[in-house]
Amino acid sequence: MRSVTVLAVTSLLSLAFTAPAQAAGTVYAALGDSYSSGVGAPSQTGICLRSNHSYASRWAARNNPATFQFLACSGATTDDVRAGQIPALKSGADLISITVGGNDAGFAPTVVTCLTASDSACAAKVNQGKAYVANTLPGKLDATYAAIRAKAPGAKVIVLSYPLIFDTAAVICEMSVAKRKAINDGARVLDEMIEQRAEAAGFVYAEVRDEFSGHGVCSKSRYLNGLTIVPPQNSYHPNSSGYADGYLPALSDAV
């Protein structure tokens, strides 16, 4: 009986010591735009504004993959991912994460319009983005996902969504309720298209809206920055909590 007990304890200790190395053999690459590079969090560096507080860097630090390629870059569109990031991707990558599509759909100009113009002008700009998402973005996403699969045929690819940026219940906020609802609806439409095309490509879609629920801009517990003057690129991007408690759990669950 004692030998069985010792064996059981030894086995448990062995599991305990080997568990943190579960991704030790993984070749992980993070592709995409500013929501993957970590804009909005501290310690952004280089022209791509990569941060070690991003969800990708946090996952790598926690799971110790054999290789971590941090290729995501602020401002990247689907064309940029295909032209610059995928060619640099290791063909032996077996785990890839990506956020992309927001810049294609005009995220930055839409936010600027909604900050500076009327409710109706904001709605019109959001509708313009929705039309792009419906008519042009599907082909862009399909081409990007196909290029990823061609370069890393054995990889598990996780496509993460974007959060709904605003809390629409707050009375006082930097945008009107109408503008906040319009922008959130545009993000919802974008996410639905990303989900559709990711699943058509055989990739895993990871939804982050649940993790960010109740933590939008103007909420009491924000996971996203509001309008930020210094540095300006942080505006309407996840803060450190957003990457740690919003994106990281979504990625970890999908992995």
pLDDT tens, position by position, 85-103: 999 999 899 999 999 999 9
For the chain, the average pLDDT equals 92
pLDDT digits (tens, 9 = 90+) for 142-171: 999 999 999 999 999 999 999 999 999 999
Residue with tokens 């996971």, as numbered in its chain: 223
| Active-site position among 34, 36, 74, 235 | 34
Whether the CB-CB separation of 116 and 173 falls below 8 Å is answered with no
SS3 232: helix
Question: What pairing do the DSSP bridges indicate for beta strands 50-51 and 44-45?
Answer: antiparallel
Q: Which residues have C-beta within 8 Å of that of residue 161, sequence separation ≥ 6? A: 99, 191, 194, 195, 205, 206, 207, 208, 209
Would you give the end-to-end CA distance of the chain in angstroms? 39
Query: What's the rounded Cα separation, in Å, for the pair 170 and 159?
Result: 30
pLDDT of 38 reads 98
Which residue shows structure tokens 């042009």?
A: 136
pLDDT of residue 14: 36
Please tell me the pTM assigned to this model.
0.89
Q: What is the length of the chain?
A: 255
pLDDT score at 97 = 98
Nearest to 144 by CA among 80, 96, 89: 80
Report the CATH architecture of 23-254. 3-Layer(aba) Sandwich (3.40)
Query: What does the DSSP 8-state code read for residue 86?
Result: G
* 204-206 and 156-160 beta bridge pairing: parallel
The sign of the CA dihedral 183, 187, 188, 190 is: positive
Is pLDDT of 70 > 90? Answer: yes
**Catalytically annotated residue among 74, 97, 215, 237:** 237
On the question of a cis peptide bond just before residue 42, with omega within 30 degrees of 0, the verdict is: no
34 is catalytic: yes
Which residue, 95, 47, 120, is CA-closest to 252? 95
Residue 26: CA count within 13 A, CB half-sphere: 24
Helix or strand run (H / E) with residue 96: strand 95-99
